[in-house]
Every structure is written in structure tokens, then in C-alpha cells.
Amino acid sequence: MTDVAIVGVGCTKMDEHWTKSLRDLSTEAGALAVKDAGLDGKDIQALYVGNMSSGRFIGQEHLAALAADQAGLIPIPATRCEAACASGSLAFRKACLAIKSGEYDIIMAAGGEKMTDIKGPEAIAALMGAADQEWESAIGLTFTGLYALMARAYMNTYGLTRDELSQVPIKNHFHGLKNPLAQFRFEVTAEQVARSAMIADPLRLLDCSPITDGAAAVILVSDRVADRFKNPIWVKGSGQASGTLALHDRPSLTEIPATQIAAKRAYDQAGVGPQDIEVAEVHDCFSIEEILAYEDLGFAPKGKGKDLLLNKDTWIGGRLPVNTDGGLKLGHPVGATGIKQLIEIVRQLRGDAYNQVKDPRIGLTHNIGGTGATALVHILGKER
């Protein structure tokens, strides 16, 4: 079967971009990826774009055609992929499968979101389209509220404390200090996290990812042409799974089965296990989700995810650095997030990350939509 490699990456700054439109951001990210690959845009044979809700955020649908038009890629086929906050990862997976089918050799997978052109309450309502509208959104629940239910259940079941939960944003803010593309670049303390505004008990403001504008893009190629490019990073495994849309239909609030299934598929495909991962980007839309991800991905036994934080295992310098770019906590343009995560792992494996881990060979990305109704896990390797 055809192997797939990533040969170019490009990402805008994660920010509130008041002077740039979604088309501006998408074009910028795409141009950076093409330049990084050493390609001409005319070499791109297909385009997959991850985007959650451009219709509600900026009133623009038919986004893939717009992206192809603005990037000068007409008449190649362009497809929009939507899976809530996992839209970018889904676009990447579809691009991988298209290359594996044998139809294409060079594809761009991109993601973008412009979230700040509407007011905060409207943005929150748009994001709740990723939950169960009838049973969750319509009765006033928000994603902070849903993840707060998960956090409280986990605390009650496994004894997680407020200070232990605070280690997630403390770590990720520290990692993000060296990332010039991060939306926020400052350290936080446990006291600052505990004193930040309560959003939905027990989650406070500094437990939450921000509203962000941004775009990201990668260039994927088949093994038939990979030798034309320097330092290709290989896609070793790709897994996707689904779970219930509504949180109340889950058998447990302290795990996400879709992540477990997607991870197993990716591990099996790559021929590796959790113990082989040397650097990872996991979905930390809220602090509790990073701890759940540790356990669902097999990095820690159930109820022991906090130990990875307390022992500094997931910090730079630890045995498994996680969210070395600051994670979603330092920027979460939902349609672009999955691609942004992949770019960080590519840079880590190439050795040119802003916050470089020492000589990693295998990395992982984990991206979910909603509260885990969609989960995608990708494993990248330095070697084919």
C-alpha cells in the first residue's frame, strides 16, 4: 500500500485577527506550506479543508471552493471536512486516504476558523452546534458546562484536586512561552489558576481554551514522489472513531471510548504502542481533557493521569513531553487545530520546533470533536 509523508507545513499566528479575514489567513497558511515544501502551487492535485462553522462565524459557506480560488488552485478538486473541533484532523485523514487510493501524489490538507467576528455569546452558541442541540444546547448547557460535569465526576471518582488540575495550564503556558505563534505567551501559577474567574464549577477561566482566529496547512505526498523532498515525515498510523453526541448517553463521564478506539487503530496500523510515543499533542480544550487523554491514549492507567504531570513526565525534559507548543490552551481556531497539532509534531521530528524535544523519532496527535463524539489519532515517524 502507498505510504504517505508530510513535506511542508505552514501556520499563521493564533490570535484575534481584526485586520485579516478567513480567506487572508487560509491563503497565508497555504503559501507558507507550499514554500516550506519547495513546491509551486501548480503541483497541488487536490485540497481538503477542515472547518467547523464558517457559516455561523462569518456567513461564508462553500469554503473549500473559496480556498481553492484564493490560493490559485482552480480547477483541482477541493473538499470541506467538518467534525467540530476535529475538522482539521479529518481533512488530514481524508487527504491521506486519497493518496493511499493511488489517485493523487501531492495534496494540501488545511484548516481554518475565524471566530472573533461575532460576539462571545454568539461564538459560544455556534460552538454548541458540536453538541446535542436538542438535549444539551437548547437547555442552556455550554461546552464548559459539559466538561465541568466530566471534571467533577473525575474528581469525585479518582480524588483529583484543584491544584493537581491546575498543573495542565501551568505546563502548557510554560511550553507556549517559546512559541511565537501562540495566542498567549505568559506563565501562570496554581494560585492564579485557582483565582481566575469561575466559568462552570470546577472549571475556571485559565482551564479553558480561548476563542481564536487562525489557519494551518500541510503538504502530503505519496512514496512515489517523496524522494524529491528533503526530510519527509511519514504518516505511520491514522485512526478515527465515533461516540455518542450527547454526554448523558455515555456509560462513563471519566473516559472517552472514541479516543481509545481511534488510538488502538492508529497504534496497530503503525506497529507501535503507547510506550513508543516520544512527543504528543493532545486535545486540551479544557484542563480535564488533557488528563483524560493521557489515560485514553494508554499513557497512564485509569485515575493515574495526574501522576504524569506531578512527576513532570509530560513537561519538556520529561519522558513524554505533551503539548510542547502550548496546546489548545494557547490557541484553538477549531477548524485549524488538528492541522496545527500535526505541524508541531512534524517540526519536532524534523528538529526545528520552537520548543524542541531531544531527538524524537515517533510522535502522536489526538484531536476530538465535541465532548468526544469524534476522535482522531495520528502517529508520525521520522522514518518510513
User: Which residues are known catalytic residues?
Assistant: 85, 332
Residues 129 and 151: their CA atoms lie apart, in Å, by: 21
Instruction: Find out whether 336 and 216 touch, Cβ atoms under 8 Å.
Output: yes
Residues 126 and 112: their CA atoms lie apart, in Å, by: 15
The C-alpha angle 137, 139, 140, rounded to 5 degrees, equals: 70
Residue 161: CB atoms within 10 A of its CB come to: 11
Residues 6+ apart with CB under 8 A from 26: 49, 67, 70, 71, 110, 112, 215, 217
Residue 117: CB atoms within 10 A of its CB come to: 16
Instruction: Find out whether 331 and 85 touch, Cβ atoms under 8 Å.
Output: no
SS3 at position 143: helix
Instruction: Find out whether 37 and 245 touch, Cβ atoms under 8 Å.
Output: no
In degrees and rounded to multiples of 5, residue 83 shows phi and psi of -150, 45
Q: How far is CA 130 from CA 87, 244, 270, in A?
A: 11, 12, 30
Q: What is the largest CA-CA distance in the chain?
A: 56
Residues 6+ apart with CB under 8 A from 91: 48, 49, 50, 79, 81, 109, 110, 111, 338, 339
Residues 11 and 352: their CA atoms lie apart, in Å, by: 14
Instruction: Find out whether 368 and 259 touch, Cβ atoms under 8 Å.
Output: yes
Instruction: Find out whether 242 and 265 touch, Cβ atoms under 8 Å.
Output: no
